[in-house]
Structure 1
Amino acid sequence: MRPLRRARRRRLRPRAQDQAGSRQSLRIQEQALAQNDAATRRRYPRSPRRSVQPRRHRRPRKPPRLRHPGSPQGRRPCLPPEAWPPRASPQENQRTPLRRMTRRISVGAQRTTSPDQRTPSKTPGSAASPAFENAAPAPCPAPSTAPLPPGWRWVRLGDVCELNPRRPLGMTRRPTKGTTFLPMAVVDEGMGTISTPKVRQYSEICNGYTYFEEGDVLFAKITPCMQNGKHAIAIGLIDGIGFGTTEFHVLRPLDYVTSEWIHYFVRQPSFLREAEENFRGAVGQQRVPPEFLRDHLIPLSPLPEQRRIAAILSDQLDAVRRAREAALARLEAARALPASFLRSVFESGEAQGWPRVTLGEVCDFLPARSIRLDGEAEVMTVTSAALSEVGFLSDGVRPGRMASSDTAAATLTPGEVLVARSNTSELVGRVARYMGTPAGIVASDLTIRLWPSDGMDGDFLTAFLSSLYLSGYWGEKAGGTSSSMKKITRAHLSSLLVPKPSKGSQAATLDRLALPIRSAIELKAAVESELAAIDSLAPSLLRRAFSGEL
């Protein structure tokens, strides 16, 4: 008889509830061990470690002596000392990597502990040790610029900074602990500071983001953030560490340069223009390569001189910032003047008594054509930037392409009233009258073209429609499925009630508006020129600082 086979037991798998309970138990044990370990370190503090010295390599073995046929003893003939070949001496550029490696090893021993119990290795303006201050990198050949003051030298940025340093090995941190997180939006491009840093749990940001420490310089590498000046010093980080977007290059200054010196240097317009010329990548996703930062030359002055110049720059740039804010406030007030003048006329008691008609009764709607990427004809197209309450702006005309059969019908005629048909809620309904300059431009289907009839003055109609736009009328009345893009249809405009006083009343109203509007335009131009002069102060200060003129 065949022996009976023992039935196999089915392997029992833990249920989901048991697995969740096991994980919770492990978390509790891990937290208890971390608390006990922290209490032990507080009770029995360790003695400070000495810096780790670089390991010395053993000398290789001497090769076995070979018999020499020309020697009677069968060995190589011995040479007198004066016939020995000269001993090669290390060049200056061979010592720099060794110094950087020595510093990296010595600093790495201090970073093996948890960041919760350590202080950052580099803070802005921290004093450098005399040993490393004397070990500054060798000077580089001077570029074709003005000579530097005595004691200054040109060095590579990669020799005075650690570019994109890695996270310390063995770094431990509680997963739920709050950690500083810096997206690109929190960097103030005007001031070059961190405005409102975010706080997230360490487990959410420890992977997939850029690591940095207190005092590191953050340089935005992607367009257009790089050109806009989104570069700042990482200050006020929780426990001295933080994470941010991957579009940051991290520059960690070494002991013979301060963070402010690096920060002010990379914010120079000349440096940003040169970085833009070295972009890599596709259009819209271009970035500054790390090789550009590493190989770029920077003037290096003694540490006391760096701190003195940084203090002067901080005070003077702060004064420039206050002057710029005051000029921007005056510019906003000047831009608001035309709106107040128009409201005072078209909301007056006299205007309420004017007869009203629909816009379709006093205007003809002219045809519009679409802009096409595959169009055969290159044209200059009107955009919303060309329409303003102070007149038609030639700067808002942009190049585009259109079908050759559509260009004749879309070409503007002097005297047309143009209305922005589709845009954001702040810009939809913007109005201007085209008076023939520049000539030969076309309007796309994003602009509604109106031709006033004989009984309606074009300037009077433009002024009334501008008052509606400035009061926010079209931001509320315009339709559209998207919350960001509003649209005005021809039906909206055709049914709009507009005032139609007599020809004399229209001319008198335009005369009352002419002088205030002209004064507002002149005031706006004066404030803009003042703002341009203020904006040129910061680049001038930075240029003087890094040429030794401060």
Structure 2
Amino acid sequence: MSGGKLPEGWATSTINEMCNLNPKLKLDDDLDVGFMPMAGVPTTYLGKCNFETKKWSEVKKGFTQFQNDDVIFAKITPCFENGKAVVIKEFPNGYGAGSTEYYVLRSINGLINPHWLFALVKTKDFLTNGALNMSGSVGHKRVTKEFLENYGVPVPPLAEQKVIAEKLDTLLAQVDSTKARLEQIPQILKRFRQSVIVAAVNGQLTKELHKKNKFKLTELNISIPSLWKISEIGQFA
């Protein structure tokens, strides 16, 4: 990531300097943990994890391990490009496991706010450059470890990271709410069109016109020449 002069208190760093990548866990086999396959990882910014509870003994081998406040994201195409990523929250006993196609980022000594880090891996710059730095065969390309570790980024102080993350949550929640309301408009318009059509067919649109314009036959009290006569318009059609 590139840019101009950094704000006061910010510094340039790399993910490798900020985070441990795919750290391991040592837990009791009988401990309940969350198991989350790739399908359980949301693509939206405010999406939630979808997991099931399993014993640690069932998932400690052959899967990627993580814990609460870790940031995970898909490394394989097209899941990476689709933005599958999430901050691990509210897993049973604080731990979980899942697909081997995850990268797990854990802040070193708690110096990086997980929600700020999550916002970083959701940026267009990260996703675009990650997609350009993949290896593997067609359909099975993965973001390289080298790209991830060396990805440079301007880092604000920890307190500012928290403020940024909270503002993002608030603003994007408002965006989602607005989007949901806008998505209702086509259906509202469709119902309105149908109601107008029904009203037209049933005569409701001209109901007031009928009330205001009532006609009756009256004698035409005027003088006309002796050779003239009064006829209806229909006789000439």
Same fold (TM over 0.5): yes
Alignment of 1:195-214 (within 5 A): 195-214=49-68
Question: Would you say 1:165 and 2:19 are equivalent positions?
Answer: no
Query: Measured at CA, do residues 162 and 192 of structure 1 come closer, stay the same or move farther in structure 2, by a change above 3 Å?
Result: farther
CA distance in 1, matches of 2:46, 2:75: 14
Query: Measured at CA, do residues 191 and 144 of structure 1 come closer, stay the same or move farther in structure 2, by a change above 3 Å?
Result: closer
Match of 1:241 among 87, 90, 95: 95
Question: Would you say 1:308 and 2:166 are equivalent positions?
Answer: no
TM-score for both structures, normalised by structure 1: 0.33
CA distance in 2, matches of 1:158, 1:256: 13
TM-score for both structures, normalised by structure 2: 0.75
Match of 2:86 in 1: 232
CA distance in 2, matches of 1:337, 1:218: 42
Deviation at 1:144, TM superposition (A): 4.8
CA distance in 2, matches of 1:291, 1:192: 28
Question: Would you say 1:180 and 2:34 are equivalent positions?
Answer: yes
Deviation at 1:162, TM superposition (A): 0.5
Consecutive unaligned residues in structure 2, runs of 5 or more: 198-237
Residues 449-480 of structure 1, C-alpha deviations (whole Å, 9 max, x = no match):
xxxxxxxxxxxxxxxxxxxxxxxxxxxxxxxx
Match of 1:272 in 2: 127
Letter paired with 2:84: K
Deviation at 1:324, TM superposition (A): 1.7
Secondary structure of 2:128's aligned partner = helix
Is contact 1:163-1:252 (8 Å) kept? yes
Query: Measured at CA, do residues 228 and 328 of structure 1 come closer, stay the same or move farther in structure 2, by a change above 3 Å?
Result: farther
Query: Measured at CA, do residues 247 and 228 of structure 1 come closer, stay the same or move farther in structure 2, by a change above 3 Å?
Result: same
Letter paired with 1:283: V
Secondary structure of 1:180's aligned partner = strand
CA distance in 1, matches of 2:45, 2:175: 10
Match of 2:233 in 1: none
Q: In terms of Rg, which structure is larger? A: 1
Is contact 1:180-1:243 (8 Å) kept? yes
Query: Measured at CA, do residues 232 and 144 of structure 1 come closer, stay the same or move farther in structure 2, by a change above 3 Å?
Result: closer
CA distance in 2, matches of 1:324, 1:263: 22
Alignment of 1:353-502 (within 5 A): none
Deviation at 1:327, TM superposition (A): 2.4
Is contact 1:192-1:230 (8 Å) kept? no
CA distance in 2, matches of 1:267, 1:165: 21
CA distance in 2, matches of 1:192, 1:270: 19
Instruction: Report which structure shows greater RCO (CA 8 Å, sep ≥6).
Output: 2
Query: Measured at CA, do residues 147 and 231 of structure 1 come closer, stay the same or move farther in structure 2, by a change above 3 Å?
Result: same
Query: Measured at CA, do residues 289 and 144 of structure 1 come closer, stay the same or move farther in structure 2, by a change above 3 Å?
Result: closer
Deviation at 1:192, TM superposition (A): 4.8
Secondary structure of 1:232's aligned partner = strand
Aligned sequence identity (%): 32
Is contact 1:214-1:234 (8 Å) kept? yes
Question: Would you say 1:327 and 2:182 are equivalent positions?
Answer: yes
Count of aligned positions: 195
